[in-house]
Amino acid sequence: MAHVVVIGAGLGGLPAAYELRHLLPKSDTVTLISNEPNFTFIPGLIQIALDLKPIDHVQLDLVPLARRHGLNLILGAVTALDPDRRQVTVKDQTLDYDYVLIATGASLAFDLIPGLGPHGGYTQSVCTPSHALAARQAWLKFLEQPSGPLVVGAAPGAGCFGPAYEFVLMAEHELRKRGLRDQVEIVYITAEPYVGHLGVSGVKNAREYTADLMEQRGVRVIDNAVIQTVTPDAVLLADGQSIPFGYSMILPAFRGVEFIRQVPGLADEKGFIPILPTQRHPEFPHIYTVGVSIKLAQPDVTPVPIGMPKSGQMTEAMATAAAHNIAVDLGAIKAPQIIPTLDALCFAEFGDTGIAYIAAPVIPDPVTGKRRSSYAMRGPWIVWAKAAFEEYFMIKMRQGVGMPWFEKLGLRTLFGLRLLKSVPPSDPSKLAST
């Protein structure tokens, strides 16, 4: 009677818990620990911040989901993990585990830049449900009387740029729709080496399509930017520029959540957890990690440091692989281990059009520097595709489904993405750390 604990009920944790529940016998327990009462589809938060839909469109109450789908849910924040004793502490309970799967996403490093972020700072964020709601309140006030430029961007060390592009171009679209565009100058400030890099260099057409759109929409771009301080009405850069704003949304650098950083030998200095390709920890064989919590080195040396994006769909593939491999380790299924290919697809919507960025895999071959395929596509269909994918994902989470075969087949047929592959036990690449 094994006990598997999943920490975090986001895009990685909830699908992983469902996969585990399907793969393990009923006598085994799958415990899901979440510090939030809801599952949130994080990519939908930009629309919440811009008041395009209510928050309940992207959230699901975890209590009925867990009851319906056989998960032992504990609501509370994990505060400690002891890999040697195989124990997790949540609130006043200590749980023993056979395997733990960490899917706690990002902790937001606003403290690295004075004045950054909604907690005592002057910029908004869209990274959590409460941030998106606060950003919406400020946005509605801004629309009543735009008091200065709109400044959107990503701080040095950020590893997630798509949401910043979506925010700036969707906000531009909204301002146009409301007849306010002439009153608002728009500036995009980014640590990326060029517009359209998104933390992933060399994606065919990505730079050109993104730069074209920013130019057509009249968005001034400042790249290679080092944001040093934010005051109540301006972003100050290391090169001395001061960019005034009436409304600002800046994505911070990410790091691993606090309890991870407290466990000796578990993570790197930023709190990101190293993994083998199977998602297992190289030193602690009973710990698996998926999603934003993993360590994924940025292969590009850029003038301003940036992280590597870990997209939602990559996270889902990691969750599927980790759940499968835990079931193999426990002897619940007889199959080779599987690994995610890290093929990435990101639909970015910009109001009346969008760009799909495809990098398969996200990390190029270290020898040739090439990927199997990588390109960008653009058009209004991306807005519809993103909305359809969001709807599909929410249905899956309601129904207790992880990553079904037709999703894998669909992504392979439409975009050439492979998502997962089996590893023969003798394959040494399985042992190499990413």
Ligand X SMILES: Cc1cc2nc3c(=O)[nH]c(=O)nc-3n(C[C@H](O)[C@H](O)[C@H](O)COP(=O)(O)OP(=O)(O)OC[C@H]3O[C@@H](n4cnc5c(N)ncnc54)[C@H](O)[C@@H]3O)c2cc1C
**Site residues for ligand X, window 122-151 (CB under 6 A)?**
126-127
* Residues 291/103, Cβ–Cβ less than 8 Å: yes
Q: How far is the CB of 307 from ligand X (least distance, A)?
A: 12
* Position among 248, 311, 320, 353 found at the interface with ligand X (CB under 6 A): 311
- The amino acid at 26: K
Q: Is 346 an active-site residue?
A: yes
Contact region with ligand X (CB under 6 A), list: 1-9, 23-31, 136-144, 171-179:
1-9
- By the rule CB under 6 A, 20 interacts with ligand X: no
- What token pair was written down for 256? 């691993």
- What token pair was written down for 100? 């733990």
From 45, 81, 160, 191, active-site residue = 160
- By the rule CB under 6 A, 65 interacts with ligand X: no
* Position among 17, 45, 88, 151 found at the interface with ligand X (CB under 6 A): 45
**Site residues for ligand X, window 338-357 (CB under 6 A)?**
346
Distances (CA, A) of 121 to 114, 145, 160, 235: 7, 21, 20, 11
Contact region with ligand X (CB under 6 A), list: 38-46, 276-284, 297-305, 320-328:
38-46
The region that residue 225 occupies, defined by phi over 0 for left and psi between -120 and 50 for alpha, beta otherwise, is beta
* Position among 33, 95, 191, 342 found at the interface with ligand X (CB under 6 A): 33
Residue with smaller CB distance to ligand X, 116 or 234: 116
Residue with smaller CB distance to ligand X, 21 or 185: 21
With H, G, I as helix, E, B as strand and everything else as coil, classify residue 284: coil
* Residues 402/15, Cβ–Cβ less than 8 Å: yes
Nearest-angstrom CA–CA distance, 37 and 59: 10
From 346, 348, 376, 417, active-site residue = 346
- Residues 277-306: x where in contact with ligand X by CB under 6 A, - otherwise, as a string: --------------xxx-------------
- By the rule CB under 6 A, 117 interacts with ligand X: no
- By the rule CB under 6 A, 315 interacts with ligand X: yes
- By the rule CB under 6 A, 322 interacts with ligand X: no
* Position among 43, 115, 117, 402 found at the interface with ligand X (CB under 6 A): 43
Spell out a b/e string for 162-173, using b for 16 or more CB atoms within 10 Å of the CB, else e. bbbbbbbbbbbb
- What token pair was written down for 317? 């593939």
What lies within 8 Å, CB to CB, of 162 at 6+ separation is 198, 309, 311, 346, 348, 357
Q: Is 127 an active-site residue?
A: no
Distances (CA, A) of 249 to 121, 154, 157, 402: 11, 9, 16, 32
337-340/420-423 β-pairing = antiparallel
* Position among 4, 10, 247, 273 found at the interface with ligand X (CB under 6 A): 10
- Residues 150-189: x where in contact with ligand X by CB under 6 A, - otherwise, as a string: ----------x-xx--------------------------
3-state SS record for 223-270: CCCCEEEEECCEEEECCCCEEECCEEEEECCEECCHHHHCCCCCCCCC
* Position among 22, 28, 36, 381 found at the interface with ligand X (CB under 6 A): 36
- What token pair was written down for 402? 């992880």
Binding residues for ligand X, rule: CB under 6 A, are: 7-13, 33-36, 42-43, 45-46, 77-78, 103-105, 126-127, 160, 162-163, 257, 259, 291-293, 310-313, 315, 346
Q: Any idea which residues carry the catalytic annotation?
A: 160, 346
